[in-house]
Amino acid sequence: MMLTTQTILKRMLLLCTFCTLLATTAIAGKPVIVGFHQKPDKAEKKLIQSLGGTIKRTYSLLPAIAADMPQESIAILLKNPSVTFVEDDVTVHSIDPSPSTTSKVSSTKPLSIQSLASDGEYDNSWGVERIGAKVAHDKNITGSGIKIAILDTGINYNHEDLDANYRGGYNFITNGRGSDDPFDDSYNQHGTNIAGIIAAESNDIGVVGVAPDASIYAVKVLDGSTFGSLSDIIAGIQWAVENNMDIANISIAGVDSSLLQATCDAAEQAGLLIVASAGNTYSGAAQFPAAYDSVVAVAGTDQNDSKGFFSPIDPVLEIAAPGLNIYSTAQENSYAALSGTSQSAAFVSGAAALLLSKGINDRNNDGIINNDDLRKTLQTSVTDLGILGRDDTFGYGLLNIRDAFNTTEDIVLNLKKESALLNGIQEVLLEDSAYRISMKNSGLTAVVILVYSENRFRGDLTKFYFFKEDNETITISLDGSTDALKLFFMPLGNSGNTAQITLTKL
C-alpha cells in the first residue's frame, strides 16, 4: 500500500505523541478519571492527593476528577467506598480529513466578490446553497444570537471571514500551564475550517457560512497535531453547558467510554444540542461520541448527493450533509478545501442555528421548546435519499432546510383566563387561505371561537369547544380563502388557566 505524505506525517505525529505520553507517565503517573458517588469536594480531592495523585481537573457536570495517579494507588482507589470507577484518560484525535479529489486545494489570498461571478461567496460554498441556507439568508435569518461551541483545534479568530463572529472560548490543552488562548495551531487548520462552514461572514470575501451571524466559541480540546485527551473532551462539553451554549459541534474520533456517554447524556438533559461527525470510516461503523443516542450523528455526501466515499454505514446515522471538497477558512486570511464528515457536521450545526434563530415549535408536545424540538425539526428538514425512510447510509436524509423557511409562520396565541370576562379575549384575522387551528388545553373548561366576516356575525361558524381533560388538544379547520374571517378566542374556566392556540396555514 502506497502511503501518502499526509499519512506519513500523521503517523510520525502519533509516534511523537506516544513517546511523550510514555515519558509523562513515567514521571507523573498514569492519567485516569476517577468517579465518585457525589460531586467531588475537599474530601475527594484529599483522597486523590493522599495517594500521590496530581489533580488535573474537577468536574461538576458529572461527579469525577481527572488526575495523574501512581499505578500502585489505583487498586487502593477502587477499594474506597466513595469511588465508583477509575477509567483510563485515553488519547483521542480529530476526524482525519479525507483527501480532496480536485486540484482546488488552497488559496494564499482571500477570494473577492470582484474576482467571482454574482453571489460569489455562494458560488464558492457549494454546500451552503445545497442545503437551502440561502433561502434563510434571503429572509434575513442568519443565526444572530445563537451560541455555538466548536470543540476542536481552536479557531483562527483573526481571519477576516471569522473575526466579527468570534466571541471567545477556552484552551483546555494548556491546562493552566501556558497560554489560555484557543487559537488554532493545527497543521491542517481543522477547527478554523469547521468555524468557516458554520459562520463565515457574509462580507463579499471568500466564502459564506451556513449561519453567517451566529456567535462562535473556540473550545480548544485538541493540540496542533489534532490530538487530545478524553478528560479534555469531557471538560469541553461541560464548558459548553456552563456557558449556556445552544449547540456544540464535535469532530472527534473518541473511544466508547461510559464516562463520555454519561457526559453527553447529561449535556443533552441540560439543554445542549450536540452535533458530531460520524467519522471517516469508509463504510465502516460510526465513531464516538457521534454513535451515542444523545448526539446527532452526521454522515457525508458529495456534489451528486451520493454517499461520500469516506462516510460510515451505521444505523445510528441521523442526518447527512455535504462533505466533499468543502472550501472554507484556513491559516492567516487564506482558504482551503477539506473533505469528511467533520465538514458535514458543521453544516448541520449551522442549520440548527438558523432554525433556532427563526424559532421552532413544540414538536414533541411536552409544553417546552428545547433542544429535543430542535433535533426533531432537523430530522424532518431533509430530502430522503437511499431506502425510503431512515436508513444506515443517510439517516433521515440529506439536510434541506428550504421548506422550513419557505413556509408561512404559524400563529401562536397563549390564551389565559383573566378575572374579568373580556380581558382574556384574543383576536386573529384569517385571509387568503384555509387554516388548521389546534387548541392545547391547560386547565380551561372551554374555548369559544366567535367568528365575523366583513363585520357580520357568523353564527354558523361560531362554536363552544369543551375540553374533556386538562391536556386535551382539539383541532379544527376554518377557510378564510374566499371571505376573510375575524376570529375572537374567549377562554372559559377558572382564572389563571390557559390554552395554547396554534393556527397553521394549509
- Domains of the chain, each with CATH number or no CATH: 28-89 (3.30.70.80), 111-406 (3.40.50.200), 411-505 (2.60.120.380)
Q: Write down the catalytic residue from 89, 96, 152, 223.
A: 152
Whether 25 shows a pLDDT value over 60: the answer reads no
Cell numbers at 413, concatenated: 396565541
User: Which residue in the list 98, 225, 251, 342 is annotated as catalytic?
Assistant: 342
Statement: residue 117 has pLDDT above 70 = no
Q: Over 90: is that where the pLDDT of 120 sits?
A: no
Distances (CA, A) of 394 to 210, 274, 343, 433: 20, 18, 15, 36
* pLDDT beyond 90 at 106: no
How does residue 2 score in pLDDT terms, banded at 50, 70 and 90? very low
Is the pLDDT assigned to residue 13 strictly greater than 60? no
Q: Answer yes or no: 184 catalytic.
A: no
Residue 14 predicted with pLDDT over 70: no
Taking residue 17's Cβ as centre, other Cβ atoms within 10 Å add up to 16
Give the per-residue pLDDT at 413.
Answer: 86
pLDDT exceeds cutoff 80 at 460: yes
Name every residue whose Cβ is closer than 8 Å to that of residue 289 and which is 6 or more positions away in sequence.
233, 250, 252, 254, 260, 261, 264, 274, 276, 295
Q: Which residues pair with 436 in a beta bridge?
A: 477, 504
What integer pLDDT is reported at residue 143 of this predicted model?
A: 95
Q: Please report, rounded to a whole number, the percentage of residues in the chain having pLDDT higher than 90.
A: 72
* Strand, helix or coil for residue 15: helix
Mean pLDDT of 7-33: 56
Query: Catalytic: which of 190, 229, 231, 349?
Result: 190
Task: Kindly report, residue by residue over 356-371, the tens digit of the pLDDT.
Answer: 999 888 888 888 999 9
Q: Where are the beta strands (DSSP E) in 137-241?
A: 147-152, 166-171, 215-220, 227-229
Of residues 421 and 480, which shows the higher confidence score?
480
pLDDT tens digit string along 196-226?
999 999 999 999 999 999 999 999 999 999 9
**Residue 428 confidence (pLDDT):** 86
pLDDT tens for each residue of 260-319? 999 999 999 999 999 999 999 999 999 999 999 999 999 999 999 999 999 999 999 999
Read off the pLDDT band of 11 (50, 70, 90).
low
Q: What angle do CA 280, 228, 267 make, to 5 degrees?
A: 80
pLDDT band at 99 (very low <50, low <70, confident <90, very high): low
Q: Is 190 a catalytic residue?
A: yes
Minimal CA–CA distance to 106: which of 6, 162, 189, 166?
189
Position 109 scores a pLDDT of 37
Cell numbers standing for residue 77: 482507589
Residue-averaged pLDDT of the chain: 88
Top pLDDT among 407 and 274 is at: 274
Closest among 295, 299, 497, 306 to 416, alpha carbons compared = 497
Between CA 65 and CA 50 the distance in angstroms is 14
pLDDT-derived band at 407 (thresholds 50, 70, 90) equals low
pLDDT surpassing 70 at residue 57: yes
Sheet arrangement for strand 215-220: 166-171, 215-220, 147-152, 247-250, 273-277, 296-301, 319-322, 398-399, 382-383
Averaged pLDDT for residues 25-49: 88
Q: pLDDT-derived band of residue 335, with 50, 70 and 90 as boundaries?
A: very high
pLDDT of residue 437: 93
Q: Please say if 37 is a catalytic residue.
A: no
Crossing angle of helices 341-358/190-199, nearest 10°? 30
CA 157 from chain centre, in angstroms, equals 20
